[in-house]
Amino acid sequence: MKKFRESILFAATSGQLTANWREHSPNVEPASGFLKQIISMRNWNLDGSGLNIDKLPELPPTWEWTTLKLISEIRGGITKGKIDYSASILAGC
């Protein structure tokens, strides 16, 4: 099961999982256009994402590297199994 999950993750992140769909859906807006829409909606003035993609793998032609900050809203929350280290730090003083 572990190898199956790894192969699906690899196929998804390398573009293999959606290659057939992309071949039969040529009129889909490329990711670069979608990112421009997000930047425009948020009224951001970006000269680039600040992301260094020199050492990242090549993506399919309509894909783009970006950051989570650009495409999502990151909020705090509850972490399952979170350990409170503050008590142990105080106890060690």
Q: What is the pLDDT of residue 45?
A: 62
Q: What is the pLDDT of residue 42?
A: 74
CA distance to 1, 7, 12, per residue, from 18 (Å): 21, 14, 7
Q: What is the pLDDT of residue 87?
A: 52
Contact between 40 and 46 (Cβ < 8 Å): no
Residues of the chain with pLDDT under 50: 88-93
Would you state the structure tokens that stand for residue 86, as one six-digit string? 């503050």
Q: What is the pLDDT of residue 49?
A: 53
